[in-house]
Amino acid sequence: MSQNIRNIAIIAHVDHGKTTLVDKIIHASKIFSEHQHFDDLILDNNDLERERGITIVSKNVSVRYKDVKINIIDTPGHADFGGEVERVLKMADGVLLLVDAFEGAMPQTRFVLSKAISLGLKPIVVVNKVDKENCRPDEVHEQVFDLMFNLGATEDQLDFVTLYGSSKQGWMSTDWQQKTEDITPLLDAIVNVIPAAPTLDGTPQMQITSLDYSSFVGRIAIGRVHRGTLTEGEAISLCKRDGTIKKMRIKEIHVFEGLGKVKVPSVSSGEICALTGIEGFEIGDTIADAEMPEALARISIDEPTMNMLFTINNSPFFGKEGKFVTSRHLRDRLYKEIEKNLALRVEETDKEDTFLVYGRGILHLSVLIETMRREGYEIQVGQPQVIFKDIDGQRHEPIEHLVVDVPEESSGKVIELVTQRKGELSIMEPKGDLQHLEFNIPARGLIGLRNNVLTATAGEAIMNHRFISYEPHKGPIPGRINGSLISLETGPGTAYSIDKLQDRGVFFVDPGEEVYAGQVIGEHSRGNDITINIQKGKQLTNMRASGSDNNVKIVPKKQFSLEEAMEYIQKDELLEVTPKSIRMRKIYLDENDRKRYEKRDEE
């Protein structure tokens, strides 16, 4: 029985228009009339994804076109969410590679594309945003061909179909100078070029590649049926990571239809489905025949490159803003996260309330922290640390490929900033009216670099990076040059004292804001830390001032985003994250304790 199913993953660099294109495909297939409310993956990270304009969790939707069912998997573009991409590509038979007509193939396009090519998936290239000024579709097409060739694509993969268009305006065409009415040329290409999902007979096999959660039925296993047929109520075996096999029964089977799911009695190989009634599964487990179970090869995920210390909030302000503040809450939440976030690892430390969390990069970890604070958790995190490895008795560290597009007049400053942090310039070429720079830089050097580059280029630099490999340690890298301004007392700061101390540095708090002793309230203009009192008010007397008081003029405080604050803190500092605030603090709040530990470290 041949099924008319095409499974296709959409891959692209961040902000090249993947999710917009999926929207247009959904509109084109007119499924909104039967639009129903449903519990699915999109709801989990909705606010965060909308605010940042990025995809964090892959989504499944399906459309019908000319009697063919097209299952579309929208994937994240950031290398930090590579774990998501690596596992969902297992469900696809082809990929839609989306490339910006001006920017061309970017580093993270390369990362995801290399995974797709190694899995032997058939690509269709879409050069998007050809309506932009100074776009260069033909050059970009050549660039994509070279990239695929360099990644070792087969002749069949190199013989790809290219479409040009604008997903925002909702049209696609085989010639970028000829605008069409809609995106049907793209749907035709998917039906004609992407191979139909193969039907394999035999005992059932399905690998769980992602999961969903519903408050009614619990955890839902999602994957593509690799072989055979799965039937509602059927007994199956669950093959686990450690080789154990558990017997279970499928309760219900759902397939993706439009934006929702539809219950079906059975599902055969090649289709993507969601199963309920399976308990205690992990991503990568295989659902197999009850009598003769055969496990599929597990999904291999690249190693994490960074770790951070997570601990409960023990600052003087703990428990004022969050609902979940105990170590039990923190432990349960982190272990729940690693069930669905494959690239994340959690390790316990010798302290019961402290955990080491390993991730792919700053963004990967910050999305977890941001999600937790929105759920009502109060936590403290330490400075992000890069993971070193000993290879043949020599210390190795992760090296990243950094790409910066910057106006020509600022390129010298960027090269200087990156080379200070042991970055090596490999490519420098003009790209439109921008200068295109490529470096290889230790992952440690990236921490805090974005802030400095954006400051030096007046916010005009576009930075992207991806992990390449582990290389021998490159030696010390200079960190933050300026020390911290630390609060001496607890209480609201006064405008009078902040005004008097403005020459000492830049403040992170406004007058009237509650601070506690040991909190980092600003950046010192010099290299050392100093403790200051911002609670002091003006001495009032009954004498009239000769002349008049000077009006207080205070520079607005410096605001940090979560990622910026994570990159800013030093080794002896923590970041306190609650649902309402982000505060930086010293690990030891008392000044005498800090001095004692400093002395001990020096000895």
In the annotated binding site for GTP, the residues are: 15-20, 128-131
Beta bridge partners of 68: 65
- Report the 10 Å Cβ neighbour count for 248: 18
User: Which amino acid, 303?
Assistant: E
For residues 297 and 285, is the Cβ–Cβ distance under 8 A? no
For residues 357 and 368, is the Cβ–Cβ distance under 8 A? yes
Q: Which of 267, 258, 192, 288 is nearest to 3 (CA)?
A: 267
Q: Which of 493, 582, 482 is nearest to 523 (CA)?
A: 482
Q: Where are the alpha helices (DSSP H) in 468-546?
A: 495-500
The DSSP code for 113 is H
109 CA to centre of own chain: 14
Phi-psi group of 458: left, alpha or beta (phi > 0 → left; psi -120 to 50 → alpha; rest → beta): left
For 41-81, give the secondary structure using H, E and C.
HHHHCHHHHHHHCCCCCCEEEEEEECCEEEEEEECCCCHHH
Beta bridge partners of 385: 307
Alpha-carbon distance 364 to 304, whole Å?
10
Alpha-carbon distance 219 to 214, whole Å?
6
Alpha-carbon distance 379 to 369, whole Å?
8
- Report the 10 Å Cβ neighbour count for 387: 14
Burial classification of residue 68, based on how many CB atoms lie within 10 Å of its CB (0-12 exposed, 13-18 middle, 19 or more buried)? middle
User: Which amino acid, 83?
Assistant: G
Phi-psi group of 512: left, alpha or beta (phi > 0 → left; psi -120 to 50 → alpha; rest → beta): left
Q: What is the token pair recorded at 519? A: 């909190």
The DSSP code for 452 is H
Q: Which of 231, 291, 301 is nearest to 266 (CA)?
A: 231
DSSP E strand stretches across 234-353: 235-239, 245-249, 252-257, 260-264, 266-268, 272-276, 286-289, 306-312, 345-348
For residues 399 and 472, is the Cβ–Cβ distance under 8 A? no
Q: What is the token pair recorded at 478? A: 């200079």
Alpha-carbon distance 407 to 411, whole Å?
7
SS3 593: helix
Q: Please enumerate, by residue number, every residue annotated as part of a binding site.
A: 15-20, 128-131
Dihedral, CA of residue 331, residue 333, residue 337 and residue 339, to nearest 10? 70
The DSSP code for 377 is B
Beta bridge partners of 577: 379, 582
Q: Work out whether the CA dihedral 529, 535, 541, 543 comes out positive or negative.
A: positive
